[in-house]
Amino acid sequence: MPLQKISGQSSPEEPGRQGLPNLKDMTLEEIEVFIASLGKEKFRSRQIMKWLYRIGIVSFDEMTDLSKNFRRELQDLARISSLEIRKVLTSTDGTKKILFRLNDGLSIESVLIPGKKDRTLCVSTQAGCRMRCRFCLTGKSGLKRSLLPSEITDQITVSRLQIPEGREIDNIVLMGMGEPLDNYENVIKAVRIMTSDAGLGISKRKITLSTCGLVPMISRLGEDACVNLAVSLNAADDETRSRLMPVNRTYSIRTLLEACRQYQMPRRRRITFEYILMDGVNASIEDARRLVRLLRGLRCKINLIAFNEYPGSEFKTPPRDTINAFRSFLIAQQFTAILRASKGADILAACGQLSGEDIGA
């Protein structure tokens, strides 16, 4: 597991500049309004976005197609932030776990997952998490704070520019640290920057948001962004799910599935239900029968994930025969059931293993 330490482009921002508006926290439309207030032409906003996201500059001096006077004016009135990569840990399967340092000293993690033709970046939306799912390491330390739009999109921008394989990133999954719908406004703004042709230029079809089930926000998401939706289900009855996931005590499975049925999505796309298999908890054939009854008639697919153990975890990975029997039962009932490979488990980069702690040598 070779450790790769990378010196980031960013440096601590000058004292006093933190109060200035950050251009990376603005959508294209907001930058247009900002520069219009300076008496500048609308097309300049696209030039600025190109420098920020396609080229990845960190200072106004580098925006060489803007006049020196305009650059000086921007320097006085705005700022550009950038995340710092502290460390990168590489798994034996090629997965990379990236530790980012935020400007306030907190840390978050992203995971770069290799595929056959492209690469997926698993992006964090919060430092920590307050959902307290019992099987997830991220929630053990609670929520420190939500990330700004710039801190969400910079995980992509910086990874593309500073990680050798980063230019191959094609898919984005909002499945890292935190609950994306618990940071709704900032996540939606980040998604708009990701999908803008002036920003990161990523298709909505290539972006998936995973939620534990904040029902009111699911409806809003379909109206505001309509990215792919993945729901962390993990049980087919309220008693078990409430024990595993406290959010179920507020939004029951029935309420959650009704929101999923109403989620606005193109007809060819399906909602993904993520189901983490835990030995002796939710992995029996009877659990599979309950899951079939629950999801019958829903346009969906099921991602099965064998529980990824971590130091001190109370749950165990089921035996391979148990996992295979569970999946085979779903397939026999005409469900699309995919056993997702848990990549990066040896560096605590698999599903539910991110903590934002210094990953060491």
Asked whether 147 and 127 are in contact (CB, 8 A), the reply is yes
In whole angstroms, what is the distance from residue 162 CA to residue 83 CA? Answer: 11
Residues 6+ apart with CB under 8 A from 188: 221, 224, 225
In whole angstroms, what is the distance from residue 340 CA to residue 113 CA? Answer: 12
Which two tokens mark 266? 């193109």
Half-sphere exposure for 152 (CA within 13 Å, toward CB): 33
Residues 6+ apart with CB under 8 A from 280: 316
In whole angstroms, what is the distance from residue 219 CA to residue 197 CA? Answer: 25
351 is catalytic: yes
Say which of 133, 212, 300, 351 is annotated catalytic: 351
In whole angstroms, what is the distance from residue 9 CA to residue 254 CA? Answer: 48
- DSSP 8-state class, residue 102: P
Q: How many CB atoms lie within 10 A of CB 243?
A: 15
User: Which stretches of the chain are DSSP H helices?
Assistant: 28-36, 44-49, 68-77, 149-162, 184-195, 215-224, 238-244, 253-262, 285-295, 320-332
Say which of 32, 84, 109, 179 is annotated catalytic: 109
DSSP-assigned states of every residue in 136-151: -SGGGG-EEEEPPHHH
300 is catalytic: no
At residue 252, the 3 state secondary structure works out as coil
Among positive and negative, which fits the CA dihedral 192, 194, 199, 201?
negative
- Distances, alpha carbon 104 to alpha carbons 18, 52, 76, 123, 147, in Å: 11, 21, 22, 19, 11
Residues labelled catalytic: 109, 351
